[in-house]
Structure formats: structure tokens, C-alpha cells
Amino acid sequence: MPSYEASPIEGRHREAVDRAAALARDFAPDLSSVLLTQYPDAETLDLYRPGESDVALTAAVNRAVAAAFREAGAEVFVQVADRASFRRWMDGRPDTPESRLAWRARGKLLRGAAALEALSLDPGPPRPRAAPQGASTLSPADRLMRAFAGEDDRAFRDLAETLIGEGRQGVLGLAIRKVEERYGEEAAEDLDLELLEMGEGAEVGPSGWAQLVALPVALPADGVPDAKALGDSLAASGVLVEALEVRFLPEWRLPDAFDRLEAVALRQALLRLLDGQEPQGFPAVEPAALMARGFGVLLGVQVDWALPVWEELEAKGLPARPREIAGDEDGPVEETPEEMAYRTRFDGWRMAVSEALDGCVPLALVAPSEVPDEIDDFLGEAGVDTDGIEEIRAFVDTARREVPGEEVVCRPEVVGERLELTLYTRGGTFLDSLSLSPDRLPAPATEMPRLLEVFVPLVRDTPGR
């Protein structure tokens, strides 16, 4: 185990170093990572932290903090201060401690052995985070079910993360079915949603945390906008806080690709995107294929550079936990000033897009698993009865589960005021049919195809004939 006692300078600053080490040991169990800044000389330290010039003491504190975090199993990141980069960062910003601490050496963060070597620490194997005690004869699916139903959220998340990382979607699916059998459909849906959310984000990427994001867009009737230009517009608009970096793929995706998601597929898509590769399961489509759909989706990855930096932890303590969602009895949850400012900026950008591209309406920047609900909410606000849409969506989803890995298509037929829907595989295998009377439809039968095309491909004739 590396020890900060190895450096002679620390003997002269024992109290400050010991105090930092004790504080780090208190914080480390609640954090997965920490960012330390190394200063090459006293002049650089004084530029970043006016009035301070003891580079040796700062380096000693960094070593002690890093050792404490590694001992707890957290990851240590290091950035090397650079005067030119810092001056560019501060240009136009208020000279406040918050602005100074927000600087990040993007693209140059050190992690793993490189970070420890920069601190003059032995990069030997770290101590893993403590695992639950006691062996279990239960299957992984049963263990996940019990952890989900129990009180130990950490045990659940650790096990689920392991299974997602190992690509064991079959085990996750079995756990969901077991939860449904024992605790009911609603509990199974909650488990599925939690797993999807975990698959969408992970402690990966250049900053240690990244997640998938999607931007569903209501498309104009006279043509599909350029996907790359629209994505670049949001990234350059100033809507996102500086700590977030979004990179969109330059092509459109179909909305129905987001209807049948799995946690493992989402995680693999995230990793491929971070590696600069096309994600599987979300094929790009030509603009012409979207004309009849009414909606398109931009898919991207969001890198979070808001790593907990040691100086801020030391001054302010642990960051506030995410707000708990209040129950109905507590009334609606009020927006924070930060959330309100983001919504105002996003609404301004959306309005500018709509004015520049008549009829084009970006909905919201959401996780991929939220795309169907976001589109349904938009249709509801536009006066479409989404209850009817949900019945048809459930009908299609059931058919898709019967033929995993095959594309399901729909042949709609208007018979009087009724709508007849027949589902096939793309190869022509009949799956199921549904007849809907006018009172079960959100719109007249003749107008339904434009709504159906949002989440299922339509065909004029029976496929394969």
C-alpha cells in the first residue's frame, strides 16, 4: 500500500497532510472518483490558487488523498496545471473560486497507473471496494431479484453492474420475469427501468463518467433537416452547462429503435460510441426513410467533466445528493434555479430552430429509454389521445417479444371507420392482428398511419408476396 510518509517534506507538514488524509478517508466511501491537480512550479500554483506557493506541501497532500481514495477502491484522476490553458479558460469568466475550480484538462486527464506515477505513488493494484460478506448458492438471477426487493441498494447496483458489464442479458431478463412472478408486473417494470438506466450510463470515458443521450425531433413536412447541423447547433448553443460535453452521431435514427431496449445493448452502444464506432441496434437511416414517420432521433454520448475536485471537497464537503422525488402527498417538486435556467436556455434554442426550420420541433434531450414517452407526451400536448397509441404500442411490443432478433412490420387497413392492423415479420411470417373501433382510436382511422409510423414500419402489402 503506498504511503504518504515516504516523502521527507511531509515530516515538516505533518498536521496538514494528516488532516487531508483523514478527510479523504471520510469522503472516499461515498465517491467513486476524485480529481487532483498537480502544479509544476510555484508560479503556476499561485496563478491557480492566489497566495499559495508551497508546491511540495500541495504534492504531499495530493499523495495522501490519492492513497486514501485508492484504499477505499475509488479511482484517482490527475490533471497537470497549465498556465496558458488556464488563462484561456478564465478569459471572460468572473475571477471567482468557482470559475477557477471548474477548469479541467479535457483530453489530458491522467488515470490509472499514469495518474499515480504523476503523484510519485506506486501504481500497484488498488484495493477493490468491499464486497458483501458470505457465499451464496442462489443463481445470479435469484440474487438480483432478492437484492432488488431488499433494502441494500448498494448490493443490488453492484450485482446489476457486474451482470451488465459481463453482457449477461439473459440473466437480467430471467430476473425480471422472476420479479414479475413474485411481486407483480409493476415491480418487474421498475426493475427493467432501473437496469436500462444503469446500461445507459457508466463510469467510463475520458472523464470517468459518460452516458447515452437522445434528441427526438418532430420533423417538418417539407423535408428532413441535416442531422449533423442540428446536433452541432445544440452543442454550440450554450444550452448545456460547461461541465457537459455532448457528441451526436451525424445521422438520424428511427424512433422505433428505442421501443425495445435492453440494458446490455445500451451499455455496448455507449462503449462503442466512446470508441468512435457505430452502435449496434441503432442503425442510421436516410432522410427519405423519415419523411413518412414524422419523427427522427439524434443519438449521442454525453461526457460529464464535473469530477469531484479535491480542493472543492476540502472546502465544501461532499456534493449534495440528487433530490429525492417527492410523493403526491408532498405536492410537486419545485425546479432548482439551475434546472430553470437550463429549461429557459433549451426553450430558447428550440424556438430558434423552429423559426429557422419551419415545423421542426426538438422535444428534449433525454436518455434513450425515455424517447417513446417523450414522443407520446408531445402527441398528447398536440391533442392526440395517447391511450389509443399505448394499446397499439403494447400490441406491437408483444409481437416483437415473440420473434426476438427479427424486424416486425405492420400492414394497416381502413375498413369503414375501423382500423385493421396485421403484424408480420419482414420475411412475411404472420404474427397477429388487431381490429380497432373508432372509440379506441386517438384519431380517425384514415389519419392513423402517420402516428403508427413513429414506432413500427408500415407496409402496403403482405411482405414476401
DSSP per residue over 32-80, as a string?
A: SEEEEEE-SSHHHHHHHSTT---HHHHHHHHHHHHHHHHHTT-EEEEEE
CB of 287 within 8 A of CB of 223? Answer: yes
- Listing DSSP states for 251-296 in one string gives SEE-GGGGSS--HHHHHHHHHHHHTT-PPTT--EE-HHHHTTTSEE
Which residues have CB under 8 Å from 176's CB, separation 6+?
188, 191, 192, 195
Confidence of residue 134 (pLDDT cuts 50, 70, 90): very low
157 CA to centre of own chain: 16
Q: What is the torsion angle, in degrees rounded to the nearest 10, for the CA atoms of residue 415, residue 419, residue 425 and residue 426? A: 70
List beta partners, residue 212.
Answer: 301
> How buried is residue 247: exposed, middle or buried, by Cβ count under 10 Å (0-12/13-18/19+)?
middle
C-alpha cell at 214: 437522445
**Average pLDDT, stretch 382-408?**
79
Distance between CA 150 and CA 226 in Å, rounded?
48
- Identify whether the C-beta of residue 51 lies closer than 8 Å to the C-beta of residue 98: no
- Rounded Cα distance between 288 and 294, Å, is 11
Compute CA distances 375 → 45, 364, 379, 411, whole Å.
50, 10, 6, 22
Q: From 261, 255, 321, 318, select the one nearest 290 (Cα to Cα).
A: 255
**Cβ neighbours around 196 below 10 Å, total:** 21
Q: How far apart are CA 444 and CA 446, in angstroms?
A: 5
Q: Which residue has the higher pLDDT, 228 or 208?
A: 228
* Band (36; pLDDT cuts 50, 70, 90): very high
Nearest to 244 by CA among 290, 305, 185, 183: 305
Q: Assign 336 a pLDDT band (cuts: 50, 70, 90).
A: confident
Look at residue 133 and tell me whether its pLDDT is greater than 90: no
Span 55-73, average pLDDT: 91
Residue 231, pLDDT > 90, answer yes
Please state, in angstroms and rounded to a whole number, the distance separating the CA atoms of residues 354 and 348.
10
Read off the pLDDT of each residue in 346-374 and give the average, rounded to a whole number: 89
pLDDT score for 82: 92
Element (H, E) at 179: helix 169-183
pLDDT class for 320, splitting at 50, 70, 90?
A: low
Say if residue 160's pLDDT is above 90: yes
The helix/strand/coil state of 407 is: coil
Which has the higher per-residue pLDDT, 359 or 36?
36
**pLDDT at residue 319, rounded to an integer:** 72
Average pLDDT, the chain: 85
User: Do 383 and 390 form a contact (C-beta atoms < 8 A)?
Assistant: no
Report pLDDT digits (tens) over 410-449: 999 999 889 999 999 988 999 999 999 988 887 788 878 8
C-beta neighbour count of 219 within 10 angstroms: 20
Q: What is the dihedral of CA 446, 450, 455, 456, to 10 degrees?
A: 60
> What's this model's pTM, rounded to 2 decimal places?
0.73
Q: Mean pLDDT over residues 343-353, rounded?
A: 88
C-alpha–C-alpha distance, residues 124 and 390, integer Å: 54
> To 5 degrees, how large is the angle CA 456–CA 461–CA 464?
90
Domain ranges of the chain: 4-118, 140-202, 210-307+323-372, 384-452
CA gap 372, 255 in Å, rounded: 7
Give pLDDT tens digits for 165-195.
999 999 999 999 999 999 999 999 999 999 9
Quote the CA–CA distance of 74 and 32 in Å, as a whole number.
5
CA distances, 324 to each of 160, 327, 333 (Å): 22, 9, 9
Percent of the chain past pLDDT 90, that is, above it, reads: 42
Question: Looking at residue 222, what DSSP letter applies?
Answer: T
